[in-house]
Amino acid sequence: MSFISVDAASDFSYQNLPYGVFSTSDNPRHRIGVAIGDQILDLSVIRSLFVGPVMSKQQDVFDRSTLNAFMALGYEAWSEARRTLQTLLSASESTLRDDVSLRSRAFVHQSAAMMHLPADVGDYTDFYSSRDHATNVGIMFRGKENALMPNWLRLPVGYHGRASSLVVSGTPIRRPCGQMRPDQTKPPVFGPSKQLDIELEMAFFVGGGNSLGEPIPINKAHEHIFGMVLMNDWSARDIQAWEYVPLGPFLGKNFGTTISPWVVPMEALLPFAESNPIQDPEPLPYLQHQDAYTFNINLFVSLKGQDMTEAVNICRSNFKYMYWTMKQQLTHHTVNGCNVRPGDLLASGTISGPVSVCMHSILSALLITDWFCFMNTHTHKI
């Protein structure tokens, strides 16, 4: 328990403690904070309290405007920082609890804060790791007998997305324009997309990357996975359908990708790890790992249109249905010597499943005023 009062229905329990970047009207500087209850703990104010063997020499990372420098420190630093935060926020620890002056400077009410992108994202890769989703899409295009491409069960399929158009939740997305060919008997036309779609995904931030030419082995992959966010992969399906052959997503995807402002550290999610899916055929040795790295995270999407008084649930699923794990995604990404850097973002692809309830339909000419997507792992939420 914490000395900070946390409502039982709060997204931000003492066991969660996600990281984010925020500012306030009276202090526009971007600062790193940790959410607990309805409060944000400003780490730039309490950075001198990080006195462990690693973080005592790295306190300046909490004075930065993004999480990149903290992510770069690696697994031991993240674990030590989390232990320090849990100690400082515990009901029995007096250092922060009893210092009225420090508390008044260190805590900000979430309602008074503006959230920003948590990291400077240098590169962004979107995978395609839901077997159910890949199968459904394949059936639509190739029929049941050839639903999955020959490589899909052998490696995590992905594409390189556009990092510059990643935005934090709440940022307006403008309907994209581009070439489309709605009538296959006529030449393409130019105009605004009429088939704007959304994709429920999750993504993880890379920390403590690797040098060019030095792959990250599967048994070390967890040391390079900092934490997770929710993601909405906006997709202009009519633009995508005309352009994607033969090289894949381009203008149909690069106009905007939304992520949640709070990054849940992997240590907060480990209690919800489950056995990995059975993979048949067996992956090549470099992709094999026995430790559980599949996470039971309930997900849903609610949609509220311009003339709607209430949001309507249109999708429910669970992250545990992913076929390829995050460790496999990261290891495959670097197996050819590709270097990843702190703050790089790797996304799951659309999350579907055998029991998903999903209206994965095109939002034709719908003006979206709000898009809500919450992650719930019992008391752990983004």
Q: One of 30, 133, 332, 380 is an active-site residue; which one?
A: 133
Active site residue 133: yes
At residue 106, the 3 state secondary structure works out as helix
Own/partner pairs, 91-100, CB within 8 angstroms, 24+ separation: 91/1, 91/2, 91/3, 93/3, 95/49, 96/3, 96/46, 96/49, 97/3
| CA 324 to chain centroid | 16
> Cα–Cα distances in Å, from 237 out to 53, 135, 140, 182, 373?
51, 18, 14, 11, 21
Q: What are the two backbone dihedrals, phi and then psi, of residue 290, each rounded to the nearest 5 degrees?
A: -100, -25
d(CA 203, CA 233): 11
d(CA 171, CA 116): 10
Structure tokens at 206: 């890379």
What single string gives the DSSP state of each residue in 185-201? TS--EEEE-S-EE--EE
Cβ atoms within 10 Å, residue 27:
13
Strand partners, 300: 316, 374
- Please identify every residue annotated as catalytic: 133
